[in-house]
Structure 1
Amino acid sequence: MPTGVHLRDARQQLFDAAERVLLRDGPNGLTSRAVTDEAGCAKGVLHRHFADFDAFLADLVLDRAGQLEAQAGVLRESAGTGAVADNLTGALTTLFGPIPLAIIPLITFRDELRARLRQARPGGGIAILAEATTAISAYLNDERALGRIAADADIDSLALSLVGGGHLLFADRDPGPPATAVVNKFVTAAVADAVERRPAQGSAG
């Protein structure tokens, strides 16, 4: 009985420690020693629960990607309420928070980590971006079904544009994340055509 609880606690402590190291020192500073030192535990604790450091990183990324699913649920619940651009602005701000943004370059830099993520789940090579794209696509599909986005809108391309552009906006955080107004201006321009043409769903012209 206590073994399972201890394992879960150890994993969470190591994940939290890894996040702190990532935010402070970046991907290059994230080593097994840095993680265990940050967690205040012996180095063997990490290797007791994970086959190797890449296995630990893969579980960390998948755990954090899973957390984005809950945030995606909040976005989908907003379909049909408020303004489409406002809903997407809030979603991008959450999806590209400090932790997801720190994890993306980590995945990019480590080939073995990307390989393990692809094995773990389809499209998992860049797990955080994949989760964000899935979340935005699902929301846009819901809005299209509600008639708030044009029936002939290319949802896949629109989602990729929003995620790609959003990532660029948030990636350089040296002066801090972009202002909400800046994000909203980008989103409004990206979805303007699909939103303005929404009567196409139910009208002849």
Structure 2
Amino acid sequence: MPTGVALRDVRQQLFDAAERVLLRDGAPGLTSRAVTAEAGVAKGVLHKHFEDFDAFLAELVQDRIARLEGQAAALRDSAGTGTVAGNLIGALMDLFDSVAVSIVGLVIFRDELRARLPRAQPAFGIPVLTDAVAMISAYLNEECELGRIAADADVDALALSLIGAGHMLFAGRDGVAPEPEEVGKVVNAVIADVTQRRLL
């Protein structure tokens, strides 16, 4: 039997540590040494579980993308309930928590990391953000089918606008999220035309 304290789910422990370092020190401060120190494990532990540091970071990003699947399902299930604007505001507030904004910054900061990430469809854009656009687009399609937004609405363009504007609202705030009212002003401005035309 090995000596010492057994580590619970080492990979998750390292991911959690990386997120804390990322929030505190930003992408430039995220090193393998900083992650293992934050996790309280020996330096060799990370390399025992991952090919190298960029492989670790790629899995960290993919873990964050995987979390979007649950958010996407919940958002689609909300179609037809509440208001379209309210559902979108909630989705953006959840989506752009401080960790997600930092993960996007990390992907932009490290060319080597972007090269390791599987390419989403479409193949342009920034991972996490392109996945978020797909999530919003799927929700808006559901609302189109329910007649709550105009049937001819360009949901892909709307989703791109919402995610781009959302990222701008949340980025650079040092972990202090905008108020829902501020997010609501942007959401309502983006979707106003397709909701008003439906009412005509």
Same fold (TM over 0.5): yes
The residue number in structure 1 matching 2:49 is 49
Q: Distance in 1 between matches of 2:27 and 2:172?
A: 15
Structure 1 gaps of 5+ residues are 1-5, 201-205
Equivalent position amino acid for 2:31 in 1 = T
The sequence identity of aligned pairs, in percent, is 63
Match of 1:126, SS? coil
2:109 is equivalent to residue 109 of structure 1? yes
1:8, CA displacement in angstroms? 7.6
After TM superposition, list the pairs within 5 Å mapping 1:112-127 onto structure 2.
112-118=112-118, 122=121, 123=123, 126-127=126-127
Match of 1:169 in 2: 169
User: 5+ unaligned residues in a row in structure 2: which ranges?
Assistant: 1-5
In 2: Cα distance, 1:33 partner to 1:56 partner? 13
Structure 1 residue 84: deviation in Å? 0.4
Spell out, residue by residue over 1:38-97, the C-alpha distance to the aligned partner (whole angstroms, 9 max, x if none): 011111110011110000000000001101111111111110011101100000011101
1:129 is matched with 129
In the TM superposition, what is the alpha-carbon distance from 1:126 to its structure 2 partner?
Answer: 2.2
Q: Aligned partners of 1:145 and 1:46: how far apart in 2?
A: 47
Cα displacement string for residues 139-175 of structure 1 (whole angstroms, at most 9, x for unaligned residues): 0000000011101111111110000001001112148
**Distance of aligned partners of 1:48 and 1:174 in 2 relative to their CA distance in 1, 3 Å threshold:** closer
Q: Count the aligned residue pairs.
A: 194
Contact 1:114–1:125 (CA<8 Å) still a contact in 2? no
Q: Do the aligned residues in 2 keep the contact of 1:118 with 1:125 (CA within 8 Å)? A: no
1:29 aligns to 2:29 (yes or no): yes
Indicate if the aligned counterparts of 2:57 and 2:113 stay in contact, CA closer than 8 A. yes
Shift of 1:7: 8.8
TM-score normalised by length of structure 1: 0.89
Distance 1:73 1:138, change over 3 A: same
Local SS of the residue matching 1:137: helix
RMSD over aligned Cα atoms: 1.8
More helix by share: 1
Cα deviation, 1:79-116, whole Å, max 9, x if unaligned, reads: 00111011000000111011100101100011110011
Is 1:107–1:113's contact at 8 Å kept on the other side of the alignment?
yes
Partner of 1:185: 185
Number of the residue aligned with 2:3: none
Runs of 4+ in 1 over 3 A off after TM superposition: 121-125
> 1:12 corresponds to which letter in structure 2?
Q
- TM-score, normalised with respect to structure 2: 0.92
Instruction: Rate the CA distance shift 1:70–1:138 in 2: closer, same or farther, 3 A.
Output: same
